[in-house]
């Protein structure tokens, strides 16, 4: 039994050695440094699409920030509630018997004459079932 | 503390360790690409890309060699199946006498290699991994993506088949 095991072991060793010999000529690999450098380049290239997306996101963020800043500036230039003409104050009105319009700001700037300025409506002269269209 | 030689996205792998198994990885890649050198170089490069990017993250659950061999095997299964078909078609339809398309197989006159070639592909893989790449049967099974029991069964069958084929080849030459 031991002899058989020994034979099997030897046979396996011989098999391994023969197989290695037959493969030896093939395993002359390209230099490691070249392969890893090429892999690094390929890895860098594969990251670029994400870099493009990140760049677009940065540009979008900058545009949004500029838009917000412009809106804030417009808001800042708008009249504050204090600077605007005062509206009716209920307390003041109740304490007094006189009242005058607080400001002309609330008055319409243009009074229009409804008889003069309304557009003339076109009327149809074609009757349809007894009525004008 | 992090090793300066370690890969950025794969801290358990060092360049020197990868370089130490580089030749064997290439041999395995060659075998996966039907001994087409250009395809094997491409496959190995892609395997390194997977390691560099951390897509294939080594967690020391096996030896580095087993892990890298598994990466090569998985890539060969998925991505290179189509490429292999294309290369085969190119070879079949190549009209020129240019032999750069031809795979450079291992020593074609080797009886052992001829016998190994006759084995079913799983048996051939386990024999190559154990005898040529010096992996254990467990490691070979892990690379092949089968259980250890299945790997062992393939190994035993392969050995029996090889013994038989080599014996008949030897008898023929007598």
- Over its length of 174 residues, how does chain B's per-residue pLDDT go in tens digits? 556 788 988 999 999 999 999 998 998 998 888 888 888 898 899 999 999 999 999 998 899 999 999 999 999 888 656 666 666 666 666 655 454 444 555 555 577 888 888 899 899 999 989 988 889 999 999 999 999 999 999 999 999 998 888 888 777 766
B123 and B170 inside one domain: yes
Contact call for A39 and B45, based on CB within 8 A: yes
H/E segment holding residue A60: helix A32-77
B33 and B89 inside one domain: yes
Q: Which of the 8 DSSP states describes residue A109?
A: S
A2-18 average pLDDT score: 71
Give the pLDDT of residue B18. 92
Contact call for B132 and A23, based on CB within 8 A: yes
B66 and B144 inside one domain: no
Mutation target vs A (from B45, B163, B169; most A CBs, 10 A cutoff): B45
Give the pLDDT of residue B150. 94
The total number of structural domains in chain B stands at 2
CB B61 within 8 A of CB B55: no
A27-55 average pLDDT score: 81
Q: Where residue A1 falls among pLDDT bands split at 50, 70, 90?
A: very low
Instruction: State the Cα–Cα distance between residues B144 and B132, nearest whole angstrom.
Output: 15
Q: A74 — contact with chain B (CB < 8 Å)?
A: no
A77-91 average pLDDT score: 69
Minimal C-alpha gap between B48 and chain A (Å): 6
- Residue A70: inside a domain: yes
- Residue A49: inside a domain: yes
Read off the tokens for B122: 């799983």
End position of a domain, from candidates B89, B105, B121: B105
B115 and B167 inside one domain: yes
Place of tokens 């020391």: B60
Which CATH number fits the domain that encloses residue B134? 1.10.10.10
B50 and B90 inside one domain: yes
Report percent pLDDT > 70 for chain A: 62
One DSSP character per residue, B37-97 reads HHHHHHHHHHHHHHHHHTSS---SSS-HHHHHHHHHHHHHHHTHHHHHHHHHHHHHH--S-
Q: Would you tell me how many other CB atoms lie within 10 Å of the CB of residue A93?
A: 11
- Residue A19: inside a domain: yes
B33 and B99 inside one domain: yes
Q: Which of B41, B52, B110 sits opposite A43 (nearest CB)?
A: B52
Distances (CA, A) of A71 to A79, A84, B120: 14, 20, 73
B chain contacts of residue A5, beta-carbon cutoff 8 Å: none
The pTM score is: 0.61
Instruction: State the Cα–Cα distance between residues B80 and A43, nearest whole angstrom.
Output: 18
Res. A11: pLDDT tops 70: yes
- Residue A83: inside a domain: yes
Give the pLDDT of residue B5. 85
The total number of structural domains in chain A stands at 1
Give the pLDDT of residue B102. 47
Q: Which of B156, B51, B40, B113 is nearest to A22 (CA)?
A: B113
Residues of B numbered 37-66 whose beta carbons fall under 8 angstroms of chain A's beta carbons: which are they?
41, 44-46, 48-49, 51-53
- Residue A121: inside a domain: no
Mean pLDDT for chain A? 75
B71 and B141 inside one domain: no
Give the pLDDT of residue B15. 92
Q: A87 — contact with chain B (CB < 8 Å)?
A: no
- Residue A47: inside a domain: yes
CB B114 within 8 A of CB B169: yes
Point out which residues pair with A131 in neighbouring strands. Answer: A128
B114 and B142 inside one domain: yes
Q: A35 — contact with chain B (CB < 8 Å)?
A: yes
Q: Would you tell me how many other CB atoms lie within 10 Å of the CB of residue B71?
A: 22
B chain contacts of residue A34, beta-carbon cutoff 8 Å: none
Q: Which of B14, B10, B16, B37 is nearest to B103 (CA)?
A: B37
End position of a domain, from candidates B105, B122, B148: B105
B chain contacts of residue A16, beta-carbon cutoff 8 Å: 131-132
Instruction: State the Cα–Cα distance between residues B53 and A132, nearest whole angstrom.
Output: 81
One DSSP character per residue, A63-78 reads HHHHHHHHHHHHHHHS
Contact call for A22 and B113, based on CB within 8 A: yes
End position of a domain, from candidates B105, B127, B160: B105
Q: A32 — contact with chain B (CB < 8 Å)?
A: yes
Give the pLDDT of residue B151. 94
Give the pLDDT of residue B105. 59
Write out the residue range of the structural domain in which residue A70 sits: 13-95
Place of tokens 């545009």: A63
Q: Where residue A127 falls among pLDDT bands split at 50, 70, 90?
A: confident
Write out the residue range of the structural domain in which residue B174 sits: 106-174
Contact call for A32 and B19, based on CB within 8 A: yes
Instruction: State the Cα–Cα distance between residues B6 and B18, nearest whole angstrom.
Output: 10
Read off the tokens for B108: 């074609």
- Residue with more model confidence, B19 or A125: B19
For residues B117-156, one letter each, b for 16 or more C-beta atoms within 10 angstroms of the residue's C-beta and e for the rest, the string is: eebeebbbbbbbbbbbbebebebbbbbbebeeeebbbbbe
Which CATH number fits the domain that encloses residue B1? 1.10.1740
Q: A121 — contact with chain B (CB < 8 Å)?
A: no
Minimal C-alpha gap between B114 and chain A (Å): 10
Please report, in angstroms and rounded to a whole number, the separation of the first and last CA atoms in chain B.
Answer: 64
B137 and B77 inside one domain: no
Q: Where residue A77 falls among pLDDT bands split at 50, 70, 90?
A: confident
B27 and B89 inside one domain: yes
Res. A4: pLDDT tops 70: no
């Amino acid at each position: 039994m031991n002899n058989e095991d020994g034979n099997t072991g030897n046979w396996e060793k011989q098999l391994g050695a023969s197989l290695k010999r037959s493969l030896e000529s093939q395993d002359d690999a390209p230099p490691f440094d070249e392969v890893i450098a090429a892999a690094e380049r390929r890895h860098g290239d594969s990251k670029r699409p994400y870099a493009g997306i990140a760049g677009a996101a940065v540009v979008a963020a900058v545009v949004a920030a500029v838009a917000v800043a412009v809106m804030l500036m417009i808001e800042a230039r708008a009249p504050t509630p204090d600077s605007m003409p005062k509206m009716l104050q209920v307390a003041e009105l109740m304490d007094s018997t006189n009242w005058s319009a607080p400001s002309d700001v609330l008055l319409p700037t243009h009074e229009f004459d409804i008889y003069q300025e309304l557009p003339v409506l076109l009327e149809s002269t074609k009757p349809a079932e007894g009525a004008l269209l | 503390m992090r090793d300066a030689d370690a890969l950025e996205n794969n801290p358990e792998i060092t360049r020197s360790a990868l370089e130490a198994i580089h030749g064997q990885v290439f041999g395995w890649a060659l075998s996966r690409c039907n001994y087409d050198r250009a395809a094997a170089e491409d496959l190995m490069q892609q395997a390194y890309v997977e390691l560099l990017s951390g897509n294939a993250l080594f967690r020391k659950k096996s030896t580095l060699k087993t892990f890298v061999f598994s990466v090569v095997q998985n890539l060969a299964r998925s991505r290179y199946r189509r490429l292999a078909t294309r290369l085969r078609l190119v070879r079949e339809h190549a009209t020129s006498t240019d032999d750069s398309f031809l795979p450079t197989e291992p020593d074609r006159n080797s009886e052992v290699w001829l016998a190994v070639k006759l084995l079913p592909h799983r048996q051939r893989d386990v024999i190559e991994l154990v005898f040529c790449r010096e992996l254990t049967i467990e490691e070979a099974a892990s690379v092949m993506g089968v259980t250890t029991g299945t790997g062992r069964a393939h190994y035993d069958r392969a050995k029996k088949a090889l013994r038989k084929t080599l014996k008949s080849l030897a008898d023929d030459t007598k």
